[in-house]
């Protein structure tokens, strides 16, 4: 019997239509801006990405809140009570304590519901990298794979999920401790754009730089050429962005032209990630030989 549910959190930045299509459950994460806390649902019912970007450009700073053990328990328990097993694909432990809360909640719930299966995978992924892993896991489930088989597939595949980012404003990365104040000042003056990725421990790491916005976005596709599987044409590729839809479309066109990719999914970066990257972030996600 294939009666289990896949749960992720809204840091996966999956489009609402895709969430419904895949039949996955999404735990909304919280963020605070201008003194008020909101929940980030896939349908953006409490605040749209455009509104968040507008406020950031006006000088407001957003902060994020990790899920606690009680919230994780509340999210998982109804499915167990209803007789369903649960597979959780959580936000990178290298970026948030959310997944640790999932693990603690799961340990207690397994004792309360010994007849049920509850597995937690620390995806070591973020944004639509996490989303792409969830998408592919849901496809495995739809193909009839058991909860154990999908869990094992996710564990084996997660370090092949490549995340490549660039940002337009270095000061948001400075605030998060990703670059120094001096680097932010000089880089902004010289239009130096960082190219970053999520490493094998789930941390966001600066790898290199490019001179100017166009070069930095091209650099993302260059990384795909360097790292992608031998036959990238058969992949579904994800792109996420903040307030940069036209550039995302251009990146998608470049990926399709260079690698023969047929399907590229584009979505806004949600507030959990955008709080730390700011407006003008662009990210490319694909399966590769390694991260």
In CATH, what number is assigned to the domain containing residue 227?
A: 3.30.1180.10
Mean of the per-residue pLDDT values for the chain?
93
Q: Which of 47-51, 85-89, 221-225, 276-280 has the lowest mean pLDDT?
A: 276-280
**Residue 253: its pLDDT value, please?**
98
Is 81 found in the same domain as 61?
yes
Q: Are residues 191 and 146 in the same domain?
A: no
Tell me, what's the pLDDT at 97?
A: 96
Note whether 166 and 83 are same-domain residues: no
Of 140, 158, 176, the last residue of a domain is 158
The secondary structure of residue 175, as a DSSP letter, is H
Give the CA count within 13 Å in the CB-facing half-sphere of 149. 11
Question: Residue 243: left (phi > 0), alpha (psi -120 to 50), or beta?
Answer: left
Residue span of the structural domain in which 50 resides: 4-158
Coil vs helix vs strand at 111? helix
In terms of domains, do 133 and 224 share one?
A: no
| Confidence at 194, pLDDT banded by 50, 70, 90 | confident
Q: For the chain, how many structural domains are there in total? A: 2
Q: Is a pLDDT exceeding 80 seen at residue 96?
A: yes
The DSSP H or E segment spanning 283 is strand 282-287
Both 167 and 104 in one domain: the answer is no
Same domain, residue pair 180 and 212: yes
The answer on 117 and 187 residing in a single domain is no
186/111 same-domain check: no
| pLDDT above 80: residue 180 | no
Single out the residue in 125, 142, 158 at which a domain terminates: 158
Q: Does residue 179 have a pLDDT over 60?
A: no
208 in the same domain as 116: no
Which has the higher per-residue pLDDT, 178 or 255?
255
pLDDT tens for each residue of 50-65: 999 999 999 999 999 9
Residue 38 is part of a domain; what is its CATH number? 3.40.50.10170
Same domain, 205 and 147: no
Quick one: 194 and 246 in the same domain? yes
Find the range with the poorest average confidence among 80-94, 121-135, 200-214.
200-214
- Confidence class for position 239, pLDDT limits 50, 70, 90: very high
Q: Is the pLDDT of residue 184 over 90?
A: no
Residue 193 in this model has a pLDDT that exceeds 70: yes
Structure tokens at 263: 């399907």
In this structure, the answer to whether residues 139 and 220 fall within a common structural domain is no
Q: Which of 125, 158, 191 is the last residue of a domain?
A: 158
Give the pTM.
0.94
């Amino acid at each position: 019997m294939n009666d289990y549910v896949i749960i992720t959190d809204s840091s996966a930045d999956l489009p609402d239509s895709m969430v419904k299509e895949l039949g996955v459950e999404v735990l909304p994460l919280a963020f605070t801006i201008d003194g008020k806390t909101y929940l980030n649902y896939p349908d953006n019912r409490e605040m749209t990405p455009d509104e968040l970007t507008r406020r950031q450009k006006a000088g407001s700073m957003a902060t994020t809140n990790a899920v606690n053990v009680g919230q994780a328990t509340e999210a998982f328990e109804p499915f167990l009570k209803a007789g369903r097993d649960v597979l959780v694909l959580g936000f990178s432990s290298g970026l948030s304590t959310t997944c640790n809360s999932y693990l603690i909640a799961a340990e207690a719930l397994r004792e309360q519901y010994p007849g049920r299966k509850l597995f937690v995978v620390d995806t070591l992924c973020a944004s639509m990298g996490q989303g792409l892993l969830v998408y592919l896991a849901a496809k495995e489930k739809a193909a009839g794979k058991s909860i154990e088989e999908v869990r094992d597939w996710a564990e084996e595949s997660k370090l092949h999920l490549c995340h490549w980012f660039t940002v337009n404003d270095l000061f948001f990365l400075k605030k998060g401790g990703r670059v120094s104040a001096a680097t932010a000042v000089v880089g902004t003056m010289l239009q130096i754009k960082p190219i970053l990725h999520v490493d094998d421990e789930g941390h966001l790491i600066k790898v290199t730089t490019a001179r100017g916005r166009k070069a930095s976005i091209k650099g993302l596709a260059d990384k795909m050429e360097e790292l992608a599987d031998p036959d990238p044409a058969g992949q579904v590729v994800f792109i996420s962005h903040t307030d940069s839809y036209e550039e995302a479309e251009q990146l998608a066109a470049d990926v399709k032209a260079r690698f023969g990719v047929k399907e590229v999914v584009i979505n806004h970066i949600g507030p959990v990630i955008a709080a730390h990257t700011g407006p003008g972030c662009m990210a490319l996600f694909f399966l590769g030989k390694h991260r």
